[in-house]
Structure 1
Amino acid sequence: MKVLVRAAVALVVAFVAAVVSLLAVVLVDIDADATEISGSGRGGLKGVPEEFRIWILKASAACSEPELAPALLAAQLYQESKFQTSREQATSHAGAQGPAQFMPGTWATWGRDDDESGAASPWDVGDAVMAQGRMMCSLLKKAKHSGYSGDVRALALAGYNAGWGAVERYRGVPPQSFAGGETYNYVQIILSTMTRFQGPGLLEVSGSGNGADALRRAATQIGTPYAWGGGSPSGPSTGFCDGVNGYLNGRCSASSTVGFDCSSLAQYAYWPDLHLPRTAAAQYGATSDRPVSRQDLKVGDLLFWSHGGSGSIYHVALYAGDGNVLQAPRTGRDVEVVPLTSAMPERDYYGATRP
């Protein structure tokens, strides 16, 4: 974008797989079409500052073009500003501003107050990343309709860096002779560094209804760190330590970790359609009049684990289909999708409810 100013034992194995498959059929109602963990498509995200992560995922999800993967946006932001947000570090010699390096004229077209701070600013991470996503989404559409050969992602990146007029002039990515090779190198670097930011596949949720919508919302947080006491309906936040919980290797990790704990993730998933209380025990109490047997689980159902009785519930997770759950497990781990049978000790499984 800066040039705009200037011009991601075979029998044993088979036997074990068969046993596991059989157990899954016995224990849960498998719905093969409900969800899948996919390594293809847009994929997950890793290696970005937490303040950028949620907005990158939102910007990717808001675009109907599947090529706008989170890893592509992350690699582009790293190339533009290395995720810097200060005016000193994220202002180019030509006047491009913020982590996504928008010129004032371009910002006037794409900038919005996405973080609802009261003003649209290229210095606000949320506003900048969402504007970047909108512009890239539009450029991807142009690239697809242009008829120009080559990777549509490369064409869109070239348009972001040098302006779509330069792409039209060369009917593709401008050559190395253009602008000292800046646009050509910009495209090559971003596409080659995407894998650095490519995380595990995101959970893809089909279907409709409160449960599917809640699971879909929670799935955007896969890879977010666990923070005891952290998280709210607004998203991840730092937590706290209470003398027992929130510690890692002898120090209070929660107070410096932006993330969710198990119950704040469930609360976030259902908000604002359903206002679940804050703790796992209270969430069970609020939904226990709608119990669900293990054989009848559906996506979005809440699952609970206890040390003994409803008064000792210590963990909640969302059913993700196919015998899996989505959960924020414990300090030192991230929001993840794991088999129900191994999410927590099997003996502690207490039951499920449907919010």
Structure 2
Amino acid sequence: MKVIVGAAAAVIGLILVTVFSLMAVLIADGDAEATETSDGGGGLRGVPAEFRAWILRADEACTEPAMVPALLAAQLYQESKFQTSREEATSSAGAQGPAQFMPGTWATWGRDDDGNGETSPWDIGDAVMAQGRMMCSLLRQAKNSGYPGDVRALALAGYNAGWGRVEEFGGVPPRSFANGETYNYVQIILSTMSRFQGPGLLQVSGSGTGADALRKAATRMGTPYAWGGGGPSGPSTGFCDGTNGYLGGKCSASSTVGFDCSSLVQYAYWSGTKLPRTAAAQYGATSDRAVSRNDLKPGDLLFWANGGGSIYHVAIYAGDGNVLHAPRTGRSVEVAPLTSAMPERDYYGATRP
């Protein structure tokens, strides 16, 4: 629910604070999965840090029950893959910015939400809040329309093709309309919402380089693994090298937007600490600041090597005996117990960037 009234809210709030405080401890039990912490109700993961707060704010501003953060996140991913540059986020039809607004539509929904003195579809805050306002209005129209189907599907169709097309077809336009563009747009977003749904951010206490890097990396939980993909600016498609990047006999990395283990670490620490690209190079750059396993702090880097020789994996210590890492092809950025994140016999050591 988006609105809780009066004194009941205060009571519920106290209960939730207690519950979330207890949930903030990550529990590892042998080979069991680590329990991911709550982000306080945001229910959002796998989203760049610069988008996250705005998505949650746009969701909070809408009172329609069908609006959830994951809907906005999945829609932004489909529109622009969270890209913000004019080169990457301008469509052939002239749509602009991460939420892909046409100039005429932007004139209706755009505002200076980030307070920088300019109303721009290229500003993340302005774009996401405008997207949220438009989607909230469309969800309301869909609910009141009486048309069959999921109101989210109807709203998404209105965002993509205009509400007039929804009225024309009495629902989501069929595959025969516009070569299936709107139909597929709706289906893709609804099917990928689960990728961005909680559990959300790791609860990281403290300050400093390591804690800040861990917080940044935690915003990417749920992002797929892509061998050779990712870097300081975020996830990207990877490549296959004859051995790595394959899934089911096919090259998965080249079509997956994500991180591998070392690019996630590089992204987390950039730009305050500019680590090199590979796990072995990251160890080489930080090995003069080795940390014993008994003295680990959140943000420390942990390394695994084949037979004590060639380093093949790096992870970020997340506290309470757990690590945050991009494990392998077919998996996503996740929290896992240090004891089972990789083979225990391959544990090589830890460093503090």
TM-score interval w.r.t. the shorter chain?
0.5 to 0.7
Alignment length (residue pairs) = 268
Note if contact 2:262-2:314 (Cα within 8 Å) is conserved in structure 1. yes
Partner of 1:131: 126
Partner of 1:98: 100
- The whole-number CA distance in structure 2 between the counterparts of 1:121 and 1:299 is 37
Distance 1:242 1:44, change over 3 A: same
Q: Does 1:244 align with 2:243?
A: yes
Query: How far apart are 1:263 and its partner, in Å?
Result: 0.7
* Deviation readout 1:213-262 (Å, 9 max, x if unpaired): 00011111111111111111111111111111111111211111111111
Partner SS for 2:68: helix
| Backbone CA RMSD of aligned residues | 4.4
Partner SS for 1:320: strand
Distance 1:102 1:200, change over 3 A: farther
For structure 1, list consecutive stretches of 5 or more residues without a partner in the other structure. 1-18, 25-34, 46-52, 92-96, 140-155, 163-172
Using the aligned pairs only, state the percent identity.
57
- The whole-number CA distance in structure 2 between the counterparts of 1:217 and 1:82 is 22
1:351 to 327, 349, 352: 349
TM-score, with length taken from structure 2 = 0.61
- The whole-number CA distance in structure 2 between the counterparts of 1:217 and 1:81 is 19
Q: Does 1:75 align with 2:75?
A: no
Note if contact 2:226-2:260 (Cα within 8 Å) is conserved in structure 1. yes
Instruction: Give matches, 1:319-338, under 5 Å.
Output: 319-338=317-336
Note if contact 2:119-2:126 (Cα within 8 Å) is conserved in structure 1. no
Partner of 1:61: 53
Partner SS for 1:319: strand
Distance 1:235 1:100, change over 3 A: farther
For structure 2, list consecutive stretches of 5 or more residues without a partner in the other structure. 1-26, 62-66, 81-89, 156-189
Partner SS for 1:199: coil
- The whole-number CA distance in structure 1 between the counterparts of 2:258 and 2:320 is 26
Runs of at least 4 residues off by over 4 Å: 62-69, 76-91, 99-102, 119-122, 173-177, 185-190, 193-197
Partner of 2:176: none
Partner of 1:259: 258
Larger CA Rg, structure 1 vs 2 = 1
Distance 1:90 1:327, change over 3 A: same
Amino acid at match of 1:254: A
Distance 1:120 1:248, change over 3 A: farther
Note if contact 2:43-2:69 (Cα within 8 Å) is conserved in structure 1. no
Q: Does 1:313 align with 2:305?
A: no
Partner of 1:38: 38
Q: Does 1:303 align with 2:316?
A: no
Of the structure 1 ranges 236-245 and 72-81, higher mean CA displacement relative to structure 2 is found in 72-81
- The whole-number CA distance in structure 1 between the counterparts of 2:106 and 2:123 is 12
